[in-house]
């Protein structure tokens, strides 16, 4: 069993296939052989029967024999009864019935040989173990072994006296035919098995070859080369689909690794900027500005701003890493009307000179983490404020949507350029870099929004017409 498990899959499949194939072939060949043997012996038997019945009919003068006498014993029959049939009569019957190497014998009820030809004498002995029920006017057959050879013996009673004619026919010709057939079947089955084994091995090898390619590709990927793919020519079987799924998985892994590398590089870059500013200010302070209180104060104020920025950045990075975990959100039923009223009171200070209003939908309660939803809305309103001129309009609200609720934050500010639109949810992406930097954003707000919404099983979307404003929508599931 262990040996079998150590064999390669293609060898195991080939063995299984060859095993089943050979079992099937052997059963078919044996069935065919036995059926032919049965047919040939049955043909020989009916030929022998016909020959005996014709000869005995002729011997009786062309008339069929009457059935065994119901009349008193010794009553005369149409033909000479065996007791009165002469030896010459019986000898002529025996001669008549023998053809092409057959043997014949007539025995009486006590087994005494009355007349014989060929192997006749031995035939009477070989017949003894056969005990078929003899029927008048009909020859009955039995298979016997005589002088090491198989014979088919036909027996027919010669009237009521108990004499029986036995005719034996050697089965050697039949056995020769069967031997030739056995030989042909053996050679045929052998050739078929050889051909089938080679074909089976070739088929399983070519079907499983892509698995070897996949193992090699996996090893190269494990060695660090993520650009490797199986790239199997298009085939729609299980292995083709496995290879396609494998390539797709490696695509995703590569994209994720690249995104992670970009993320780390961007995070390091964002951290480096305030740190460089801090280092510069400290340099100046340490060299000579400590003696100049107004300059020192200005520098420390700048350092304080940079430290605040660093804190915010770290806070956003932490929030983003937590938001990717679905278990970090604690959902509970929240009534959106009361939630939004409370939010509007807290967000009022954000709007500054913009007009912030609430567009209420039908009263609805959805399972959501209220702290996460607040964070999402603060980020969206903060963005809307950053990108809307003073006096602009910002509308926040919700409406029912199939399967859940759609929450929106709409402004009539500068909008988003079409080329920026597909990227705004990527971490560290800032549409108009110079302008965003003025506000000090790292480009993490919308990435955090997306991660939090997806942790709720929801979706985010954005639409915008440059110069006319932007609308961010969040769909959250109702259950």
Ligand X SMILES: Nc1ncnc2c1ncn2[C@@H]1O[C@H](COP(=O)(O)OP(=O)(O)OP(=O)(O)O)[C@@H](O)[C@H]1O
- Interface with ligand X, residue 452, by CB under 6 A: no
How many residues comprise the chain?
479
- Residue 14 binding ligand X, by CB under 6 A: no
Distances (CA, A) of 466 to 417, 418, 424, 469: 6, 8, 14, 6
Q: How far is the CB of 271 from Mg ion (least distance, A)?
A: 18
Measured from the CB atom, the residue of 36 and 463 that comes closer to ligand X is: 463
Residues 6+ apart with CB under 8 A from 261: none
Instruction: Report the nearest approach of ligand X to the CB of residue 267 (Å).
Output: 12
The number of residues that bind Mg ion (CB under 5 A) is 3
Q: d(Cα 393, Cα 357) in Å, to the nearest integer?
A: 8
What is residue 72's DSSP assignment? P
User: Should residue 306 be labelled a site residue for ligand X when binding is judged by CB under 6 A?
Assistant: no
- CB atoms under 10 Å from CB of 163, counted, come to 20
- Rounded to 5 degrees, φ, ψ at 165 are -95, 125
Q: How far apart are CA 109 and CA 111, in angstroms?
A: 6
- Stretch of 251-259, 300-308, 345-353, 383-391 contacting Mg ion, by CB under 5 A: 383-391
> With CB cut-offs between 5 and 8 Å by kind, which of ligand X, Mg ion, none does residue 336 bind?
none
Segment lying near ligand X (by CB under 6 A), choices 1-9, 46-54, 130-138, 438-446: 438-446
Number of residues in contact with ligand X, rule: CB under 6 A? 24
**SS3 annotation, 16-73:** HHHHHHHHHHHHHHHHHHHHHHHHHHHHHHHHHHHHHHHHHHHHCCCCCCCCCCCCCC
Binding of residue 453 to ligand X (CB under 6 A): no
Task: Report the distance separating Cα 360 and Cα 335, nearest Å.
Answer: 12
Residue 404 in the binding site for Mg ion (CB under 5 A): no
The yes or no reply on residue 413 touching ligand X (CB under 6 A) is yes
DSSP string, 309-326: HHHHHHHHHHHHHHHTSG
In sequence order, what are the beta bridge partners of 449?
A: none
Least separation in angstroms between residue 442's CB and Mg ion is: 9
Q: Is 392 in the site for Mg ion (CB under 5 A)?
A: no
Judged by CB under 6 A, the residue of 89, 102, 369, 411 near ligand X is: 411
Q: Does 396 bind ligand X (CB under 6 A)?
A: no
Q: What is the C-alpha to C-alpha distance for residues 249 and 259, in angstroms, rounded to an integer?
A: 15
Say if residues 195 and 13 touch (Cβ distance below 8 Å).
no
Q: Is 436 near ligand X (CB under 6 A)?
A: yes
Distance CA 400, CA 475 (A): 9
**In 277-368, beta strands by DSSP E:** 332-335, 355-359, 365-368
Which of 29, 107, 126, 442 touches ligand X (CB under 6 A)? 442
Only segment of 82-90, 108-116, 254-262, 437-445 that touches Mg ion (CB under 5 A): 437-445
Are 275 and 283 in contact, with CB atoms under 8 Å apart?
Answer: no
Measured at CB, which residue is nearest to Mg ion?
A: 445
> What minimum distance in Å lies between the beta carbon of 398 and ligand X?
18
Stretch near Mg ion under the rule CB under 5 A, chosen from 249-257, 357-365, 425-433, 434-442: 434-442
Residue 306 contacts residue 300 (beta carbons within 8 Å) = no
Ranges within 32-61 binding Mg ion (CB under 5 A): none
Decide whether 138 or 375 has the Cβ nearer to Mg ion.
375
Instruction: Count the neighbouring beta carbons within 10 Å of the beta carbon of residue 332.
Output: 9
Question: Judged by CB under 5 A, does residue 383 bind Mg ion?
Answer: yes
Report the C-alpha dihedral over residues 347, 351, 357, 358, rounded to 10 degrees.
-30
CA-nearest of 46, 242, 69 to 140 is: 46
Which residue of 446, 452, 455, 460 would you call a contact of ligand X, by CB under 6 A? 446
Would you count residue 431 as binding ligand X (CB under 6 A)?
yes
Cα 308 from Cα 115, distance rounded (Å): 133
Question: Is residue 430 close enough to count as binding ligand X by CB under 6 A?
Answer: yes
319 binds Mg ion (CB under 5 A): no
Measured in whole angstroms, the distance separating CA 253 from the mean position of its chain's CA atoms is 24
- Which partner from the list Mg ion, ligand X, none does 169 bind, CB cut-off 5 to 8 Å by kind? none
- Among residues 17 and 429, whose Cβ is nearest to ligand X? 429
333: closest CA among 189, 477, 448?
477
Q: How far is the CB of 387 from ligand X (least distance, A)?
A: 3
Nearer to ligand X, 165 or 347 (CB): 347
Query: Quick check: 274 binds ligand X (CB under 6 A)?
Result: no
Indicate which single residue of 445, 452, 473, 476 sits in contact with Mg ion (rule: CB under 5 A). Answer: 445
Binding site for ligand X (CB under 6 A): 316, 379, 383-384, 387, 411, 413-416, 424, 429-432, 436, 441-447, 470
Binding site for Mg ion (CB under 5 A): 383, 441, 445
């Amino acid at each position: 069993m262990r040996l079998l498990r150590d064999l390669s899959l293609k060898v195991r499949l080939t063995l299984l296939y060859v095993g089943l194939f050979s079992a099937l072939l052997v059963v078919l060949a044996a069935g065919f052989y036995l059926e032919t043997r049965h047919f040939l012996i049955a043909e020989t038997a009916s030929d022998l029967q016909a020959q005996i019945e014709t000869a005995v009919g002729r011997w009786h003068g062309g008339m069929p024999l009457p059935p065994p006498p119901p009349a008193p014993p010794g009553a005369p029959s149409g033909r000479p009864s065996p007791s009165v049939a002469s030896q010459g009569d019986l000898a002529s019957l025996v001669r008549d019935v023998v053809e092409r190497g057959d043997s014949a014998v007539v025995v009486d009820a006590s087994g005494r040989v009355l007349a014989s030809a060929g192997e006749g004498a031995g035939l009477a002995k070989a017949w003894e173990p056969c005990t078929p029920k003899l029927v008048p006017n009909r020859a009955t057959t039995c298979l016997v072994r005589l002088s090491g050879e198989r014979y088919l013996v036909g027996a027919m009673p010669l009237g009521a006296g108990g004499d029986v004619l036995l005719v034996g026919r050697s089965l050697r010709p039949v056995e020769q035919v069967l031997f030739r057939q056995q030989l042909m079947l053996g050679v045929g089955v052998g050739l078929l098995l050889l051909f089938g084994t080679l074909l089976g091995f070739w088929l399983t090898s070519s079907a499983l070859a892509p698995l070897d390619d996949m193992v090699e590709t996996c090893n190269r990927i494990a060695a660090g080369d993520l650009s490797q793919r199986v790239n199997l020519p298009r085939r729609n079987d299980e292995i083709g689909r496995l290879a396609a799924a494998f390539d797709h998985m490696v695509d995703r892994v590569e994209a994720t690794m690249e995104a992670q590398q970009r993320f780390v590089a961007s995070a390091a870059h964002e951290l480096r900027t305030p740190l460089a500013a801090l280092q510069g200010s400290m340099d100046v302070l340490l060299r000579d500005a400590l003696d100049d209180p107004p300059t020192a104060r200005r520098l420390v104020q700048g350092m304080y701003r940079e430290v605040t920025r660093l804190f915010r950045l770290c806070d956003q990075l932490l929030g983003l890493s937590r938001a990717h975990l679905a278990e970090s959100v604690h959902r509970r039923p929240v009534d959106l009307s009361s939630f939004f009223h409370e939010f509007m009171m807290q967000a009022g200070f954000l709007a500054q000179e913009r007009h912030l209003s609430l567009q209420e939908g039908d009263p609805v309660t959805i399972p959501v983490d209220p702290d996460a939803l607040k964070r999402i809305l603060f980020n969206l309103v903060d963005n809307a404020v950053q990108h809307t001129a003073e006096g602009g309009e910002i509308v926040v609200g919700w409406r029912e949507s199939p399967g859940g609720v759609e929450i929106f934050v709409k402004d009539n500010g500068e909008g988003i350029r079409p080329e920026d639109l597909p990227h705004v949810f990527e971490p560290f992406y800032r549409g108009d870099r110079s302008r965003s930097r003025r506000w000090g954003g790292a480009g993490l707000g919308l990435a955090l929004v997306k991660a939090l919404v997806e942790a709720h099983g929801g979706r985010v979307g954005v639409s915008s017409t440059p110069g006319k404003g932007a609308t961010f929508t969040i769909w959250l599931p109702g259950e």
